[in-house]
Amino acid sequence: MADDGMLLNFELSADAFAPKKTFKGGSWRDRLTAKKSAEWGRQKAKEREAGLKGLIPRFEEVQSDDEELILPDHQPRKRARIDEPVLSDPNRRHSLSKQSSGKDGSRRPPSIPIGGVVSSLFTYNPKSATQESKAELENDFGIEPSNAPLRDELATFTNLGLSPTLASHLLKKLDISAPTAIQRRAIEQLCSADTDAFIQAETGSGKTLAYLLPVVQRLMHLSKQMKDAGEDFNRESGLFAIILSPTRELSKQISSVLEGLLSCCHWIVSSIVIGGEKKKSEKARLRKGLNILVATPGRLADHLDNTEVLDVSKVRWLVLDEGDRLMELGFENDIQKIVSILNLRRTKAMERVLPGLPERRNTVLCSATLKGGVQDLRSMALKEPVSISVDENEKAEGQEAANESKAFSAPAQLKQSYVTVPPKQRLVTLVGTLRQSFKRKGSVMKCIVFISCADSVDFHFEVLTRPSTAPVEGRATEVHKTADVDLEEPSLSSRSKKIAQGTTISEFRTQALATSCSTKDNTVQLFRLHGSLQQSTRTSTLLAYTKCTEPAVLVCTDVASRGLDLPNVDLVIEYDPPFSKDDHLHRIGRTARAGKDGRAMIFLMPGCEEGYIDVLKEGRQRNLTKHDADEMLRKGFSPSSGVTTDRDWENRATDWQLDVERWTLDHPKHLEQARRAFQSHIRAYATHVAAERAVFDMRELHLGHLAKAFALRDKPGSIRVPGLRPSKDDNNRANAARKASAVRSSASASKHDRPDDDTGVQAVSDEREGRRKMQAKMKAMGGASEFNLG
Ligand SMILES: Nc1ncnc2c1ncn2[C@@H]1O[C@H](COP(=O)(O)OP(=O)(O)OP(=O)(O)O)[C@@H](O)[C@H]1O
């Protein structure tokens, strides 16, 4: 066919018209090799010429199985693509080029790292299937707090049988004027009758005082009777009550409430044995004598075996607080042992009638639910118990039916919401949510963010306290200003400066400025807490968080979900979903306590996780609100000036995310921490209770996208961080105890962060099942085996 002279619009490479080299001589094999080698050389030249200039990592360096890879059809090599929105959007180009400028303003290639894939936050995201239903947003006017003190004029402590001294002490020293519904029931019952009791009530309803007040009241009565009879009541009069709780934190909390009460009757002496200090000093305290003992089960069982001076022959009350947790943590055997020793050592002293005290030992069990082995505990430790709970008569008008009142549910006044967030946007949405929450000074003072495992807590702590100006090794200093967030660096010592600059990670640092969500006008402090920290660190961190007068965020595992009474928590964020519905209720129960307001928000991923919305709607929940990631990002990343182009917040969010990814890549320690957090997170995800596995389905996780929420650009299968974190107490005794506690707790379904046992060893207790599933999934991804949930 004749050439018609038209030049078609084909894009041709520079070497398209270069004469093709022919190879002569040698064998046909030699000629073929030479030809292939020349072809390879041409291909390389084409790649260089394609203007990639370092923007795109070489194939050998790319590790992703994402959909965000382009496979050029003319050759088999994979090549990573920078997502269109980053390069094609002029705003993004501008933003990238700004970031690529050194201090002197000279252009240099954007710091897209060798060895990873940069994907856009805003493409390829799954969409939420849940329709926003305004019907969900019910009018919350008129919702009565369900755990508040009673307003009935007749419901006074003195009317319930407490002495005027104790009642006025409650008012003057503890600012408590009226009992809550559960306190009314419990005081009525336990002050007069001598029976075992099972107390069940919602979070924040004052269960601690519900069992402490009758004990203190009756001991005060005894001491008065003794005084009238010319006898002294003092610490040597005998040990009358033992209170067991599952964790050291809780025991300390109970002990401090008790001491507060006893300050009006200083002759009644309490003490605490929870481990974490030398047994010798605990023994010395026991030797001095005491009337009320707060303890953890393992430590008490130990003392009953080894401390002769501990006389339990007069014990009239045994209180088992947080019964469900006691069972979950595998204290069944210890409790069984304690109960049988108390029975054995019951002597004539017990038979002597002491005025005002029960004639036989009364056991009181407190638990939010009857599930998780609490029934077993009830049958083992209680005899014909009376059930004490809040019944229908005490509920405000319009609340649920009687059968629901028995169910464990969230406080009625608690405002719950959920936000659907695609996996890639999780981290940046968390930051957006925190920024939004702390934007207005004073609107939120205390917030708790629940995360599934210790490694992930540590990673998020580092990310959220990362300095806004990060010197980068081997590069000019990169200045990243997050627009409306103008931070003042606090004065730092040289060591903490080093830590703040991201060159080192301190195992001991548990408080820092939350640079990611602080503003010039509202600085936010960040705290971290998990079971792998030293006991002393945990205690001081909780104290510092409680006493912090600035706005504060606590990122923690479920170690802080049960029983802890952290004052004035306004907002609870469940960044990682809870491992069971009960865990969820305990977590959100850290806010809206004793009739106060509170908000709780849970992050759910679009897809099967949205099935959890039905769980959120269960019980008396009425004011459930839906949010989406865009909304939180817009609120959190829009400049405070309000001068913004339509989707400026997308650029700001992307800038923030890219900056964190670079920071992670630039510091090997942070990279390892991020990878470890990712691995542990996935293993934890595999351990949801069986009933909820359809909602939190491992097979539905998009690991590549999820990696971005850990600032990682790796192919998930290549993420392998060997070994568990270094043990805090790496000696033989600790290892032996760890093994023992792992065996003890193997029956439990959800022990992701065993907060304590009496040896202080944080047990890596959970989930053979999770490990098995995770191993299968990671094998499919390329293999990784070691995690840490603690
Ligand atoms: N009658 C009362 N009036 C006002 N505040 C009270 C009253 N009783 C207890 N509180 C306060 O309520 C808060 C919650 O009490 P407590 O920790 O005993 O609740 P709880 O029912 O044990 O909660 P959880 O189930 O979460 O352990 C505490 O700060 C306590 O001081």
Sequence-separated (6 or more) residues with CB below 8 Å from residue 258: 212, 216, 243, 270, 292, 294
Distance CA 116, CA 80 (A): 8
CA of residue 564 to ligand 1 center, whole Å = 10
Q: What confidence tier does 716 reach under pLDDT thresholds 50, 70, 90? A: confident
Sequence-separated (6 or more) residues with CB below 8 Å from residue 404: 619, 620
Distance CA 13, CA 19 (A): 13
Distance CA 48, CA 45 (A): 5
Q: What confidence tier does 269 reach under pLDDT thresholds 50, 70, 90? A: very high
- Structure-model confidence comparison of residues 33 and 343, the more confident one: 343
Q: What confidence tier does 687 reach under pLDDT thresholds 50, 70, 90? A: confident
Sequence-separated (6 or more) residues with CB below 8 Å from residue 668: none
Instruction: Mark 38-49 as b/e (b = at least 16 C-beta within 10 Å).
Output: eeeeeeeeebee
Distance CA 578, CA 675 (A): 22
Q: What confidence tier does 1 reach under pLDDT thresholds 50, 70, 90? A: very low
What is the DSSP secondary structure assignment for residue 48, as one 8-state letter?
I
Of 251, 320, 587, 593, the one to substitute when testing ligand 1's pocket (max ligand atoms within 8 A of C-beta) is 593
Q: Tell me which residue has tokens 């305004």.
A: 134
CA of residue 200 to ligand 1 center, whole Å = 13
Q: Which atom of ligand 1 is nearest to the CA of 250?
A: 27
Distance CA 8, CA 17 (A): 15
| pLDDT at residue 2 greater than cutoff 90 | no
Distance CA 358, CA 360 (A): 5
| pLDDT at residue 491 greater than cutoff 60 | no
| pLDDT at residue 35 greater than cutoff 90 | no
Q: Look at residues 148, 668, 651 and name the one whose alpha carbon lies nearest to residue 428.
A: 651
Ligand 1 shell residues, CB under 6 Å: 149, 176, 179-180, 183, 201, 203-209, 368, 563, 565, 589, 593-594
CA 366 to chain centre: 24
| pLDDT at residue 498 greater than cutoff 50 | no
In the 3-class helix/strand/coil scheme, how is 562-596 assigned residue by residue? CCCCCCCCCEEEECCCCCCHHHHHHHHCCCCCCCC
What is the DSSP secondary structure assignment for residue 420, as one 8-state letter?
E
pLDDT of res. 115: 52
Q: Tell me which residue has tokens 């193997």.
A: 746
Sequence-separated (6 or more) residues with CB below 8 Å from residue 687: 579, 750, 752, 766, 767, 769, 770, 789
Instruction: Label residue 505 exposed, middle or buried (CB < 10 Å: 0-12, 13-18, 19+).
Output: middle
Task: Supply the mean pLDDT for the chain.
Answer: 76
Distance CA 586, CA 581 (A): 9
Q: Which atom of ligand 1 is nearest to the CA of 322?
A: 27
Segment 667-672 mean pLDDT: 92
CA of residue 255 to ligand 1 center, whole Å = 14
pTM given for the model: 0.76
Distance CA 220, CA 223 (A): 5
Q: CA separation (Å) from 208 to 192, 200, 335?
A: 18, 12, 20
Share of the chain above pLDDT 90, in %: 47
Query: What's the residue count for the chain?
Result: 790
- Tokens matching residue 754: 């065993």
| pLDDT at residue 756 greater than cutoff 50 | no
Segment 290-313 mean pLDDT: 95
pLDDT of res. 277: 79
Q: Which CATH number fits domain 194-389: 3.30.465.10, 3.40.1390.10, 3.40.50.300, 1.10.490.10?
A: 3.40.50.300
- Tokens matching residue 394: 């005490």
Q: Which atom of ligand 1 is nearest to the CA of 179?
A: 1
Q: Whose CA is nearest to atom 10 of ligand 1?
A: 206
Of 247, 321, 564, 565, the one to substitute when testing ligand 1's pocket (max ligand atoms within 8 A of C-beta) is 565
Segment 148-173 mean pLDDT: 93
Other CB atoms within a 10 A radius of the CB of residue 143 amount to 19
pLDDT of res. 473: 33
CA of residue 595 to ligand 1 center, whole Å = 9
Segment 770-777 mean pLDDT: 48
Backbone phi and psi for residue 445, each to the nearest 5 degrees, phi listed first: -105, -45
| pLDDT at residue 91 greater than cutoff 50 | no
| pLDDT at residue 732 greater than cutoff 80 | no
Share of the chain above pLDDT 70, in %: 66
CA of residue 597 to ligand 1 center, whole Å = 14
Q: Which atom of ligand 1 is nearest to the CA of 565?
A: 17
pLDDT of res. 746: 38
| pLDDT at residue 241 greater than cutoff 60 | yes
Q: What confidence tier does 644 reach under pLDDT thresholds 50, 70, 90? A: low
Sequence-separated (6 or more) residues with CB below 8 Å from residue 336: 380
Sequence-separated (6 or more) residues with CB below 8 Å from residue 635: 432, 435, 436, 439
CA 102 to chain centre: 38
Distance CA 191, CA 317 (A): 12
Asked if residues 211 and 238 have their Cβ atoms less than 8 Å apart, the reply is: no
| pLDDT at residue 471 greater than cutoff 50 | no
pLDDT of res. 617: 86
| pLDDT at residue 724 greater than cutoff 60 | no
CATH number of 414-489+516-712: 3.40.50.300
Angle between helices 279-288 and 297-306 (to 10 degrees): 70
Q: What is the DSSP string of 196-207?
A: -EEE---TTS-H
pLDDT of res. 347: 67
Q: Tell me which residue has tokens 């060895």.
A: 115
List the single range of 127-141, 290-304, 395-409, 434-448 with lowest mean pLDDT.
Answer: 395-409
Distance CA 251, CA 755 (A): 12
Q: Which atom of ligand 1 is nearest to the CA of 201?
A: 21
pLDDT of res. 751: 39
In the 3-class helix/strand/coil scheme, how is 701-725 assigned residue by residue? CCHHHHHHCCCCCCCHHHCCCCCCC
Asked if residues 484 and 522 have their Cβ atoms less than 8 Å apart, the reply is: no
| pLDDT at residue 116 greater than cutoff 70 | no
Segment 235-240 mean pLDDT: 94
List the single range of 103-112, 340-349, 453-462, 719-728 with lowest mean pLDDT.
Answer: 103-112
| ipTM reported for the complex, 2 dp | 0.99
CA of residue 124 to ligand 1 center, whole Å = 46
- Tokens matching residue 377: 């505990």
What is the DSSP secondary structure assignment for residue 684, as one 8-state letter?
H
Distance CA 484, CA 486 (A): 6
Residue 66 φ/ψ region, left for φ over 0, alpha for ψ in the -120 to 50 degree band, beta for the rest: beta
- Tokens matching residue 200: 């069940």
Q: Whose CA is nearest to atom 15 of ligand 1?
A: 206
| pLDDT at residue 255 greater than cutoff 60 | yes
| pLDDT at residue 674 greater than cutoff 80 | yes
Asked if residues 162 and 183 have their Cβ atoms less than 8 Å apart, the reply is: no
| pLDDT at residue 366 greater than cutoff 60 | yes
Asked if residues 580 and 688 have their Cβ atoms less than 8 Å apart, the reply is: yes
Backbone phi and psi for residue 20, each to the nearest 5 degrees, phi listed first: -75, 130
CA of residue 260 to ligand 1 center, whole Å = 14
List the single range of 109-113, 194-198, 465-469, 570-574 with lowest mean pLDDT.
Answer: 109-113
- Tokens matching residue 702: 């998009």
Segment 474-499 mean pLDDT: 37
Q: Look at residues 282, 279, 377 and name the one whose alpha carbon lies nearest to residue 335.
A: 377
Q: Look at residues 110, 53, 121, 122 and name the one whose alpha carbon lies nearest to residue 665.
A: 110
| pLDDT at residue 659 greater than cutoff 90 | yes
Distance CA 329, CA 753 (A): 10
Of 184, 200, 209, the one to substitute when testing ligand 1's pocket (max ligand atoms within 8 A of C-beta) is 209
pLDDT of res. 63: 35
Q: What confidence tier does 753 reach under pLDDT thresholds 50, 70, 90? A: very low
Q: CA separation (Å) from 708 to 199, 675, 716?
A: 45, 11, 10
List the single range of 113-127, 426-440, 686-700 with lowest mean pLDDT.
Answer: 113-127
pLDDT of res. 56: 36
In 276-399, which ranges are continuous DSSP H helix?
279-288, 297-306, 323-328, 332-344, 348-351, 374-381
Amino acid at 348: K
Q: Whose CA is nearest to atom 1 of ligand 1?
A: 179
| pLDDT at residue 245 greater than cutoff 80 | yes
Could you tell me where in the chain the CATH 3.40.50.300 domains are found? 194-389, 414-489+516-712
pLDDT of res. 447: 97
CA of residue 247 to ligand 1 center, whole Å = 18
